[in-house]
Structure 1
Amino acid sequence: MILHQIDSYSYGNRLRSLPATAKCGFAAALLLLAYLAGPAEQAAITVWLCSWTVRRAGIGARFYAAALGSVLGFYLLSLPALLVEVMPESAAMVPAAVGVDIGRWQLVLTEDGGKLALGLMLRILACSSCFLFLILTTPMADLFQVLRKLRVPLLVLEIMQIMYRFLFLLLQTAFELYTAQRARGGYRGAKRTIADTATLAARLFDRTMSRYEGWMRGLRARGFEDELRLAPGESGIVPARLRFEAGIGIAILTLSALTLPGGWLS
């Protein structure tokens, strides 16, 4: 399952030994640039983080492309609303637009809509690359330690830990139920698929909550006292070569965003 694969990559990648605080700071700086900078800087951030995640960290290129492509899938669902405008047939055509008449209405594809869609896609790719770099190179236990250093309330951290564990229980239960249904000849034909999916959804919650209660009973049997303790964080040193590359890269991107046409100060 994809969640187990993400967890496996986060513990087994080649950047695992780097301090989580350094990786979080690096990803946060690039995320801020990706959100505020122009299309050129966003494309550069996407390529740079793709290189770091795949080549330096050793994440599978096919898995990384699938993860980034799944993000674009949600973007494609909103693409018609960005590109197409609906207006009365009597309205004046927008310059540089392609229109299709449907009765008394026109579906208009504008140049401004295309630019907006392209800019949004580059921003989504850049921001998603920052998040993928962080979650594929840093285990959740280390991220919890970073949040604790940022003085996030302990109650919030405990809820996050429980929900993270709950996701594994939910996905594992869904996979087991789906496998059992397929073994009994389920999901054959459209009607059978709909009925089996409804059965899966109905049984999933009860089965997951039962396993969750068993997990909580196991915690209490091992001395759980209403406080989930975090694993001690591992300290490491960022090599000078990586510090230099990260610093120079962020400086160049910032300077480009400040000086190039369309930048912050132009």
Structure 2
Amino acid sequence: MILKQIDSYSYGNRLRSLPATAKGGFAASLLLLAYLTGPAVQAAIIAWLYVWTVPRAGISAKFYAVSLGSVLGFYLLSLPALMIEAIPEGAKMAVAANVRLELGGWQLAVTEDSMHLAVRLLFRVLACSSCFLFLILTTPMADLFQVLRKLRVPMLLLEIMQIMYRFLFALLQTASELYTAQRARGGHHGVRSRIADTATLAARLFGRTMSRYDNWTRGLRARGFEDELRLAPSEPGNVPAKLRIEALIGLAIITLTALLLPGGWLS
């Protein structure tokens, strides 16, 4: 499962020993630049973060490509709404259309502006997603919770996030067990069988998950739970001078490139 792979990489990568605050600040800085700059600078951010995440952190290139590809899949689903403009037949378009199709009394048109918007959004989505992938693949959630605590995020919100993260694994494990049991009994063969078995799985999944939650809360109370989930202690670390200098120089070069390159900033 992809969630387990992410959790495994976050604990076993080569940048694991670096402070979570340093990695978070680095990712946040690049995220801001990725959001504000144009496609050329965003492409440089994508390439640079690939170097940090795959060769340097030791993340599988295939897994990294699949992760970015899943983001790209959601982007492709939004393309029709971004690029296609629908107007009643006979109405005059405000701008010239590169592609035009008449369908059921409507004109479906793709303009040059909409294509430019789609390209700009593609680079922005990939650049911002690269920032998030770098952070979650190199930093365990326990360390990220510590960073959020230092940022004065309310403890109640952190506790809710911890519980949700904990039960994502329980939910996926329960779903896998139920699916395996159904397949062992000859289920999920044919369209009708898949629909019926999926509905049964969803109904049983809720009950099984709530049962696990009840057992978990009873275990907490048995161990003296006092209405506060304590965060795992974080081990302080130092950023090697070589990595610190490289990160600062890279951020400076990207910022200067965005300022000097025509259309590189706020495009």
* Residue aligning to 1:9: 9
SS across alignment from 1:97: strand
What letter corresponds to residue 152 of structure 1 in structure 2?
A: V
Secondary structure of 2:67 counterpart: helix
CA distance 1:96–1:217, change in 2 (3 Å)? same
| Aligned residue number for residue 153 of structure 1 | 154
Shift of the 233–194 alpha-carbon distance from structure 1 to 2, 3 Å rule, reads same
The residue type equivalent to 1:69 in the other structure is G
Following superposition of structure 1 onto structure 2, how do residues 145-184 of structure 1 map, counting pairs within 5 Å? 145-184=146-185
Q: TM-score, normalised by structure 1?
A: 0.96
What does the per-residue CA deviation read over 1:1-32, in whole Å, with 9 as the maximum and x for residues that have no partner?
Answer: 11111111000000000000000000000000
1:76 offset after TM fit, Å?
A: 0.8
**Is 1:258–1:265's contact at 8 Å kept on the other side of the alignment?**
no
1:45 pairs with 2:45? yes
Q: Structure 2 CA distance, aligned partners of 1:264 and 1:98?
A: 30
1:205 aligns to 2:206 (yes or no): yes
Q: Which residues in structure 2 correspond to 1:109-188 (within 5 Å)?
A: 109-188=110-189
CA distance in 2, matches of 1:104, 1:209: 51
Q: Report the equivalent of 1:257.
A: 258
CA-atom RMSD, angstroms?
Answer: 1.5
Q: CA deviation at 1:181?
A: 0.6
Distance 1:123 1:255 in 2: 18
Q: 1 CA distance for matches of 2:104 and 2:72?
A: 33
Moved more, 104-113 or 26-35: 104-113
8 Å CA contact 1:35–1:127 kept in 2: the answer is yes
Percent of paired sites with the same residue = 77
Q: Distance in 2 between matches of 1:237 and 1:35?
A: 29
> Displacement of 1:103 after TM fit?
4.3
CA drift at 1:92: 4.0
Q: Which residue number in structure 2 is paired with residue 189 of structure 1?
A: 190
Provide structure 2 residue ranges, at least 5 long, that are not aligned to the other structure. none
Residue 91 (structure 2) pairs with residue 106 (structure 1): no
- AA aligned to 1:62 is K
Aligned pair in 2 of structure 1 residues 265, 102: CA closer, same or farther (>3 Å)?
Answer: closer
Aligned equivalent of 1:55: 55
Cα deviation code 1:153-204 (max 9, x no counterpart): 1111111111110111111111111111111111000000000000011111
Count, aligned residues: 266
Q: Secondary structure at the match of 2:87?
A: strand
Aligned-partner Cα distance in 1 for 2:225–2:189: 46
Separation of aligned partners in 1, 2:191 and 2:56: 45
Query: Which protein has greater RCO, CA pairs closer than 8 Å, 6+ apart?
Result: 2
Structure 1: 5+ residue stretches without partners: none
Deviations 1:79-137 (A, max 9, x none): 01111111233234633511122243221111111110011010000000000000000
SS across alignment from 2:108? strand
Q: Residues 30-109 of structure 1 correspond to what in structure 2 (within 5 A)?
A: 30-92=30-92, 94-95=95-96, 97-109=98-110
Decide whether the 8 Å contact of 1:259 with 1:265 is kept in 2: no
How do 1:224-239 and structure 2 match up within 5 A?
224-239=225-240
* 1:218 shift after superposition: 1.4
Rate the CA distance shift 1:264–1:47 in 2: closer, same or farther, 3 A. Answer: closer
Secondary structure of 1:232's aligned partner: coil
